[in-house]
Structures are given as C-alpha cells and as structure tokens.
Chain A
Amino acid sequence: MPTRSAATPDVLPDLRNLGVLARILIAVNGAAFFAATVHAHSFAELVEQFLGIALAVEPALLAALVALWLLNPVLQRLPYWRGLALIAVTVVLVTLGVQRLLAMVDASAPEMLRGAAYALLATGLLAGYFHLRERAFSPALSEARLQALQARIRPHFLFNTINAVLSLIRKDARRAEAALEDLAELYRQVMADNKKLVTLEHELALTRQYLNLEQLRLGSRLRVDWRTEKAPMDALVPPLLLQPLVENAVYHGIEPGIEPGTIEIAIARLRDRVQFRLRNPYHVDHQHRQGNRIALANIRERLALHFDVEATLKTEVRGEVYEIRIDLPYKKAEELSQPLSFGPITLGPQR
C-alpha cells in the first residue's frame, strides 16, 4: 500500500506560472505601499513615498523574476531546500547587481546591503506563503482519491459490472477475462497515491478502461465519440482529471435516457495550452445532483493547486447538451525529473 498523505514532498512554486508571478508582484508592491503609509503624513506624501520606494524596488524585483523565470527548469529539478537556497542566492545577487548599476547612474541610490536584506526577507516570507498555500490545497488530493474510491465503490457501478461479467462467463470467457482485468486496473489506479501529475496518455488509458466496462453494461446505448487525434499524449495532467468527469457523463447523461446517447471527448493542443471538451446529453433533473458538483469542485481545486490561475474549468448547458471545458497549460512530461509513480514513462513496481 502507498504511504499516507504525511509523506507529501514539499514543492517549489512554478516560477513560470502567471498566477505565481502575479502573487509575488502584488505582495512586494503591497509591502512597498505599506512601508510608504508608515512614513507618510499626508496623501501627497504617501504618493511620493510610494513612488520613491517603488523606484528603488521595482528594477531589482523585475530583474529577479526574470532570473528566476530562466532558472525555473533547474529549480524544479532540485530538492526543496536546495532550490530555496538557490532562489535566495539568485535574488540577493540580482538585487546587488541592479543596485550597483543604479548607483552608477544616480549617486543618491540607497545603500546596497539594506536592499539585499529586504530582498532576502521578502523571499523568505513569500516562500513561507507558497508553502502554506500548497499545504492548504493538499487535502484536495487525498480527498480526490477518497471520493474517486467512493464513486468507484458506488455500489450501482460495482454490482452491475460484476453482474455483466457473470453474464459473459459461460458464453464468452475471453471477454469476461478482459473485463475483469479492466476492473482490476481501474481499482488499482483509484487506490494508488494520486498526487503527482501523470501523462495525458495515462489518463486516457484509464478512461478507456472505465468506458469498456460501461460499454459492456450499456451496449449500444453508450456511444463515445473520441476526438483525440490532436491530443498531446506527453502533456502532464492531474491524475483522475478526466475519468471522474466521464463517469458523471455516463451516470447523468446516458443512464437516464432510453435512446442511445453520445459522449464526446475532444482534446487538442493549441500552442502552449491543452484544451478539453466533454459533452453529454443533458437531462434536467439529473445533472445538478450533488455527486456531479462535488466532483467538479474537487477537480477545480486540484487544477488550482497544480496550475494556479493558468487552468480553468467551465461548465455550460447548451440546449440538450451538457458541456465541460478545461483549459490548462501544456507541460511536457520530460520537464519533470522526478520519476512518476506509474504510467508509461517509468514502469513502477506495481505493474
């Protein structure tokens, strides 16, 4: 069995992520503004103070962010504390460098050591903030696993699937075997430690196994329209991103209907983005049930944890179709140095 959630390794923020960069800019400028309010006695003075501080802070801040943006691939490969040390050293060196340059132009520039000390302090505080933020979102990961587990143990699915497999044993033993293998694989995945990103290829394979089982039960009532020819199979996505959504699509979109229904799964890469579109027939009194909302909320949380503001999930009802759109940044699998716990990249001991 995988170890419990306490073993989550600390991760540095992705310093190429817009959300992360925005948070840093806002925090540092907020601090500058606060410093200005402390010194100022009137509004005019406040503006003046703030501009003065900003003028001193901004060049170093921007230069440091550019340096960290460049260093990001290296940083993501380092263990947490070494990465943090490298960030601190980079920030201090960049600040000192920028100040020296400024001093050449303007002799009244503030002394160098104080600036470096402030930069170091800001780095430490921000690192603490991102660390806490990561922690705050972490429960979403173990929750995802728990919920997926509960959904999969959704008795309706389990017993009906077992019943369908039983119906195959006498007349088509090979299909029964394949179905049991799919079922075992599905449960293995759900019980695995689903914390690290996996490749899209991996998530799609899982979704296919799940749909094979549903197809067994529902036969021609379930039609799946795969539009994944342009999907970037090496893109990294949170595990159990797609499968729970497809499961909801079957439960709320196909099962309540007497007529056959189609689930459309379209995935494509558009420049540096990966776009998902999932459609299923809409049944008014079904889609808004709690199960669906819980799954959506959990996936939103995990997207925020992994991609901050760069990922979005939107749902929409278009006439008789329910549609979910996910848009997230394209990250290639090779960029991660840590081996994935499962998936086609490394063959873990589980396989």
Chain B
Amino acid sequence: MNPLRLLLVDDEAPARERLREVLGDVAAAVPHVVVGEAANGPAALAFLQERRVDLVLVDIHMPQMSGIEFARHVLRMPDPPGIIFVTAYDQHAVHAFEVNALDYLLKPVRAARLQVALQKARMATAEQLQNAAAAAGEARRFLSVSERGRILLVPLADVLYLKAELKYVTVRTREREYVIEESLTRLEQEFAELFVRIHRSCLVARRYLRGCERVVDASGEEAGWAVLLDGCEERLPVSRRQWPAVKALLAAGTA
C-alpha cells in the first residue's frame, strides 16, 4: 500500500512541528509521508493545486480563513483529499462537529488517537461541512471560483453584487466578473449580513450601496428604481417587491 500523502495546515509553527513528531511516532503503524506544510488556508489551497495529497490535517482557528472554510473550498475541488480537523478548543466548532459527527482531534494530540484517525481517514461530506459551518455560526470570507482548472479565491469584502444567470451566479467585483455554481438563495442565507436582495435575481453588497435613482424606459414611462453602487457604473434595477426594504436601508444609511 502506498503511504498516505499528508498536508499539515496550522498558523502556529510549533503546532505543526508537534504534529510531525506525533506522526513520526505512529509511522510504523500507519505509513505516511508529509508532503507539505502551510500556515494558512489560502496557501494550503494553492499547495493542493500543485501537489497530489490524500489527507489534510487542518487547524480550525487560523487568521483570514478558518479551517472549516478551508475545508468547504477543498470539497469544491475535483477529487478532493480527506480532511481531519485539529483544534485546541474552539467551543463553537467542537459543538458543530459533535452535532454533525465529523471527526476531529484535540490539541495536544495523542499518538493513539491520531493513529485511529489516520486509519479511518474518511472524508467529510460537503453537506456535513455546510451543516457544521452553519452550526458554528460561520460564514465564508471567500468565494471559490474554478477557472481553467484552477481555484481562485474572491474575498467577499470585494464583491459588489451577485447576480443569478441561467445556471450559475455572476460575481462582480470592482475589477472583473467571475462565475460560480452556487444557488443565490443559499448565498443570501449565508451572507445575510453582507448582502441585500434588490431583485429576484440580484443581491448587492450593503457596504457599497450608494444611492438610488428613478429609471425611465424608452417611451418615457417611469419604470421604477435602480440602485447605484460605489465603484460600479451599472444601474441595477430594484423590483417593486424589494423596493420598500431597499428604501428603508438607504434612508437608515444616509441618516
């Protein structure tokens, strides 16, 4: 049997070192090779695009991107590696794991426990992860976009609006557009604090909401309202149904 190829992800160098030591202790029982280490989620995702890995051991409490968010991006990759979470004690995360029966290790990690986890080395399902993230009250900070076989991370803080097209969602930032395959309804639920729905097919970022103006159609008839966003030329139409909510938001924001 080929040895398991492992990637270790933790923002604290001593924690990675300790994990290597304990892995060394169980090497005879579970043959493996540590092919890489990363100090944060984005770096680890970049690594996964270059190298083939069977199993990722990932810390949860990390800057910029939590281990749970990292795992959610990993599971969107084709043929993703397995994931084992390692955490010092993250109350919410631990609770989320228990609820969703995901496997996780507690730091300091014991050799015997690590050995069992490696032998199982089972992969969390995407659905389990979604539920765990929801139970931990955690929203992603990035959207992952597959483009020509690569994964790009788009920070949600940069997104101006999300627009549902036929089978996918367009993500617009100041610089360019991306396309993702997610449902707008799900995105709206996950990022309710960041985005507001202005139309059946459009969510705009609250922080970039600038103002609104009346729209007049070709025949000179009044055709409702459109919102203006910071750093965006486009006028996005507001549906009659969403208008009261958008108006209230604008009034509160400018007051």
A interface with B by C-beta (< 8 Å): 155-156, 159-160, 162-164, 166-168, 170, 216-219, 221, 255-258
How long is the Cα–Cα vector from A160 to B91 in the complex, in angstroms? 14
Q: For residue B42, give the distance in angstroms from its CB to the closest CB of chain A.
A: 8
Q: Given the complex of chains A and B, what is the CA–CA distance between A159 and B90 in angstroms?
A: 11
Stretch among B10-18, B46-54, B95-103 lining the A interface: B10-18
Contact B89 A155 (CB under 8 A): yes
**B64 CB-CB contact with A under 8 Å:** yes
> Which interface residue of B11, B12, B17, B61 has the most chain A CB atoms within 10 A?
B12
- Find B17's partner among A155, A167, A221 (CB 8 Å cutoff): A167
Known: A156-B89, A159-B88, A162-B108. A257 touches B12 (CB 8 A): no
Apart from A163-B18, A219-B14, list 6 A-B contacts with CB within 8 A.
A159-B108, A167-B15, A167-B17, A217-B12, A217-B15, A218-B12
The one of B14, B63, B90 in contact with A217, judged by C-beta atoms closer than 8 angstroms, is B14
In the complex, chain B residues whose CB is within 8 Å of the CB of A221: 11
| Any A CB within 8 A of the CB of B170 | no
Q: Are B40 and A258 in contact (CB under 8 A)?
A: yes
CA distance A219 to B90 in the complex (A): 22
Known: A162-B108, A258-B40, A258-B64. A156 touches B90 (CB 8 A): yes
Q: Which of B15, B88, B91 has the most chain A CB atoms closer than 10 A to its own CB?
A: B88
Task: Say yes or no: A156 contacts B12, CB within 8 Å.
Answer: no
Chain B nearest CB, measured from A99 CB (Å): 62
Would B15 and A163 count as touching, CB distance under 8 A?
A: yes
- The residue in chain A whose Cβ has the minimal distance to the Cβ of B61 is A156
Complexed CA–CA distance, A257 and B65 (Å): 10
Whether the pair A166, B18 counts as a contact (CB closer than 8 A) is: yes
Which of B11, B40, B88 is the one whose CB lies under 8 Å from A163?
B88
Bound: A147/B91 CA distance, A? 18
Q: Which residue of A lies closest to B106 (CB)?
A: A159
User: Are A167 and B61 interface neighbours, CB within 8 A?
Assistant: no
Docked-complex contact B21 and A167, CB < 8 angstroms: yes
Please indicate the chain A residues that have their CB under 8 angstroms from the CB of B39 in the complex.
258
Q: Using Cβ atoms and an 8 Å threshold, which residues of chain A touch B107?
A: 159-160, 163
Q: Are A258 and B90 in contact (CB under 8 A)?
A: no
> 5 A-B pairs, CB-CB below 8 angstroms?
A163-B12, A163-B15, A166-B108, A167-B17, A256-B63
Asked if A156 contacts B14 (CB within 8 A), the reply is: no
Instruction: Please state if B63 and A159 are interface contacts (CB–CB under 8 Å).
Output: no
CB neighbours (8 Å) of A160 from chain B are: 12, 15, 88, 107
User: Which parts of B49-79 form the interface with A (CB within 8 Å)?
Assistant: 61, 63-64
Residues of A close to B64: CB separation below 8 A: 256-258
Q: Which B residues are in CB contact (< 8 Å) with A168? A: 14
Q: Give 7 closest A-B pairs by Cβ, nearest first.
A: A155-B89, A167-B18, A159-B88, A164-B14, A167-B14, A167-B17, A163-B107
Given contacts A156-B61, A256-B63, contact A164 B89 (CB under 8 A): no
Nearest chain-B residue to A218 (Cβ)? B12
B63 to A257, Cβ gap below 8 A?
yes
Cα distance A48–B14 in the bound complex, in angstroms: 78
B88 and A156 contact, CB distance less than 8 A: yes
The residue on B at minimum CB distance from A220 is B13
Chain B positions within 8 Å of A219 at CB level: 12-14
CB distance from A74 to the nearest CB of B (A): 53
Q: A residues within 8 A CB of B108?
A: 159, 162-163, 166
Within the complex, what minimum Cβ distance (angstroms) separates A284 from chain B? 10
Query: Min CB distance, A60 to chain B, in Å?
Result: 56
- Which residues in A have their C-beta under 8 angstroms from that of B12? 160, 163-164, 217-219
Shortest CB–CB separation between residue A288 and chain B, in angstroms?
A: 15
Q: Are A155 and B63 in contact (CB under 8 A)?
A: no
| Chain A neighbourhood of B91, CB < 8 A | 155
Instruction: Look across to chain B and name the residue whose beta carbon is closest to the beta carbon of A154.
Output: B89
- With A164-B12, A256-B63 known as contacts, the answer to whether A155 contacts B88 (CB < 8 A) is yes
For residue B23, give the distance in angstroms from its CB to the closest CB of chain A.
Answer: 12
Q: How far, in whole Å, are A218 and B16 apart by their CA atoms in the complex?
A: 12
In whole angstroms, how far apart are the Cα atoms of A258 and B63 in the complex? 6
**From residue A323, how far is it (CB to closest CB) to chain B in Å?**
21
Chain A contacts for B90, CB-based, 8 A: 156
Distance A170 CA – B21 CA, assembled complex (angstroms): 9
How far apart are the CA atoms of A256 and B11 in the complex, in Å?
A: 10
Report which of A155, A159, A216, A257 forms a contact with B14, defined as CB distance below 8 A. A216
Provide the bound-state CA to CA distance between A156 and B13, in Å.
16
A256-B65 Cα distance, complex, nearest whole Å: 9
**Chain B 1-25 near chain A by CB (<8 Å), digits 1 or 0:** 0000000000111110110010000
- What residues on B are CB-neighbors of A163 within 8 Å? 12, 14-15, 18, 88, 107-108
Q: Which of A164, A217, A255, A256 has the most CB of B within 10 A?
A: A164
